[in-house]
């Protein structure tokens, strides 16, 4: 039999659940169907000490039950938004099992567009993948929304100059280069009273518009301007993070065959790439580091 306490170890942080439940919910209330396509991960936290230290599963809500609940909730309540769906799961598990005091629910959403405005035929929208995380701790709920893989490029109005040079520096300064990145971003709300779909669309619009509206001195500056614009436009958002590759495009030297190349033909080098990460916060707003735990790839 497993010993509960030992002289050598204690059980630290833990959570558990079912990862990546892929649920596609069709709303068939009218002939014009609606589709929501989510990959949902559910993880529970709470008094799980004896599950680990004694092998006593009395508190171990099976991961299979968590999966079943995800599908049952999709059917019973529909999916209004990823965030709303995750909040419902958080309330359910913390309400149903008194020793479950919190948890983490995460989703990726794959969007579908109508084909020629068709009522029930769709084509997958590949622009970006939407993300959502709900962290529950007692009564507290923290919602972090975002997206990844939104690839953008500007073919001019970007440069990189004024950087320090040492004996290893070979990069030439430029005031006219391609700038391209795959935007990955996550933003933290300071409330759950949010129209998540509407804010999502607006944040994406602000980020895309900011990408276009200035001469960029570095990807760092552009990310900062994007984040600042989002925080200024959305009082319900306290913090936004970016993790963005600088997808280098090098003007290809075609001198070998006597061709001029005035920044027309580029080598899109896929690696290595610059990796630029930044957090932009509302001045004076409370931090919430624990809500970000488990969100990989952001600083
Ligand atoms: O926008 C940029 N930021 C950098 O930090 C950097 N470093 C580099 O080599 N090129 C660039 N471009």
Residue 222 lies in a domain: yes
**Above 70 in pLDDT, residue 286?**
yes
The model's pLDDT over 181-207, given as tens digits with 9 standing for 90+, comes to 999 999 999 999 999 999 999 999 999
Residue 168 lies in a domain: yes
Segment 137-149 shows an average pLDDT of 98
Backbone angles phi, psi at 233, to 5 degrees: -85, -20
Are residue 199 and residue 264 in the same domain, yes or no?
yes
- Cβ-based neighbours of 8, under 8 Å, separated by 6 or more: none
* CA atoms in the 13 A half-sphere facing the CB of 91: 8
Indicate the burial class of 147 (C-beta count within 10 angstroms; 0-12, 13-18, 19 or more): buried
Instruction: Write out the catalytic residue numbers.
Output: 18, 63, 248
Binding site annotation covers 66? no
Residue 189 CA to ligand 1 center (angstroms) comes to 30
Are residue 163 and residue 281 in the same domain, yes or no?
yes
Q: Could you give the CA distance from residue 150 to residue 239 in angstroms, rounded to a whole number?
A: 19
Binding site annotation covers 64? yes
Percent share of the chain, pLDDT over 70: 98
Are residue 34 and residue 56 in the same domain, yes or no?
yes
The whole domain housing 189 covers: 145-298
Give the chain's domain count.
Answer: 2
Distance (Å) of CA 15 to CA 140, 151, 188: 17, 33, 21
Binding site annotation covers 41? no
Residue 3 lies in a domain: no
**Above 90 in pLDDT, residue 156?**
yes
Binding site annotation covers 202? no
Segment 64-79 shows an average pLDDT of 98
Which tokens in the block code for residue 66? 């968590």
- Cβ-based neighbours of 286, under 8 Å, separated by 6 or more: 238
**Above 50 in pLDDT, residue 221?**
yes
Q: Is the CB of 181 under 6 A from ligand 1?
A: no
Q: What is the pLDDT, as a whole number, of residue 7?
A: 83
Helix (H) or strand (E) holding 132, with range, is: strand 129-137
Q: What is the pLDDT, as a whole number, of residue 4?
A: 61
* Closest C-alpha residue for ligand 1 atom 4: 218
Whether the predicted interface score ipTM is above 0.90: yes
The CATH number for 83's domain is 3.10.270.10
Are residue 49 and residue 126 in the same domain, yes or no?
yes
The model's pLDDT over 242-265, given as tens digits with 9 standing for 90+, comes to 999 999 999 999 999 999 999 999
Give the residue among 159, 171, 166 at the shortest CA–CA distance from 217: 159
Are residue 249 and residue 227 in the same domain, yes or no?
yes
Are residue 20 and residue 73 in the same domain, yes or no?
yes
DSSP secondary structure of 141-173: EEEEEEEEEEEEEESSSB-B------TT--PPP
The model's pLDDT over 24-44, given as tens digits with 9 standing for 90+, comes to 999 999 999 999 999 999 999
Q: What is the pLDDT, as a whole number, of residue 6?
A: 73
- pLDDT confidence bin for 5, thresholds 50/70/90: low
Segment 123-141 shows an average pLDDT of 97
Give the residue among 151, 152, 148, 141 at the shortest CA–CA distance from 86: 141
- pLDDT confidence bin for 1, thresholds 50/70/90: very low
Q: Is the CB of 278 under 6 A from ligand 1?
A: no
Q: Is the CB of 200 under 6 A from ligand 1?
A: no
Are residue 149 and residue 133 in the same domain, yes or no?
no
Which residues on neighbouring strands pair with residue 20, listed in sequence order? none
Segment 167-178 shows an average pLDDT of 98
Give the nearest ligand 1 atom to 158 CA: 1
**Above 80 in pLDDT, residue 285?**
yes
Are residue 122 and residue 260 in the same domain, yes or no?
no
Residue 223 lies in a domain: yes
Are residue 160 and residue 106 in the same domain, yes or no?
no
Residue 265 lies in a domain: yes
Are residue 169 and residue 286 in the same domain, yes or no?
yes
Residue 216 CA to ligand 1 center (angstroms) comes to 11
Q: Is the CB of 274 under 6 A from ligand 1?
A: yes
**Above 60 in pLDDT, residue 3?**
no
- Cβ-based neighbours of 298, under 8 Å, separated by 6 or more: 184, 186, 241, 242, 243, 277, 279, 292
Q: What is the pLDDT, as a whole number, of residue 134?
A: 98
């Amino acid at each position: 039999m497993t010993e509960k306490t030992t002289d050598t170890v204690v059980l630290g942080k833990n959570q558990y659940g079912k990862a990546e439940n892929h649920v596609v919910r069709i709303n068939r209330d009218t002939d014009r169907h609606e589709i929501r396509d989510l990959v949902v991960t559910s993880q529970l936290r709470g008094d799980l000490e004896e599950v680990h230290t004694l092998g006593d599963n009395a508190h171990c809500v099976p991961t299979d039950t968590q999966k079943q609940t995800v599908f049952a909730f999709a059917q019973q309540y529909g999916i209004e938004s990823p965030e709303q769906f995750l909040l419902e799961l958080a309330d359910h598990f913390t309400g149903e099992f008194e020793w479950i005091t919190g948890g983490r629910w995460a989703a990726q959403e794959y969007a579908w567009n109508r084909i020629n405005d068709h009522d029930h035929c769709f084509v997958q929208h590949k622009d970006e993948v939407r993300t959502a995380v709900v962290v529950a701790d007692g009564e507290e709920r923290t919602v972090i929304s975002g997206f990844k893989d939104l690839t953008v490029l500007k073919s001019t109005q970007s440069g990189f100059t004024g950087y320090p040079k040492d004996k290893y520096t070979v990069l030439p300064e430029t005031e006219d280069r391609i700038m391209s990145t795959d935007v990955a971003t996550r933003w933290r709300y300071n409330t759950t009273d949010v129209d998540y779909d509407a804010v999502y669309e607006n944040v994406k619009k602000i980020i895309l518009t900011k990408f276009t509206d200035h001469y960029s001195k570095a990807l760092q500056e552009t990310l900062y301007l994007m984040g600042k614009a989002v925080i200024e436009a959305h009082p319900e958002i306290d913090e936004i993070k970016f993790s963005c590759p600088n997808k280098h495009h090098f003007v290809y030297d075609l001198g070998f065959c006597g061709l001029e190349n005035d920044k027309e033909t580029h080598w899109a080098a896929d690696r290595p790439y610059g990796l630029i990460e930044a957090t932009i916060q509302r001045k004076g707003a409370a931090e919430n580091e624990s809500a970000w735990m488990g969100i990989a790839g952001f600083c």
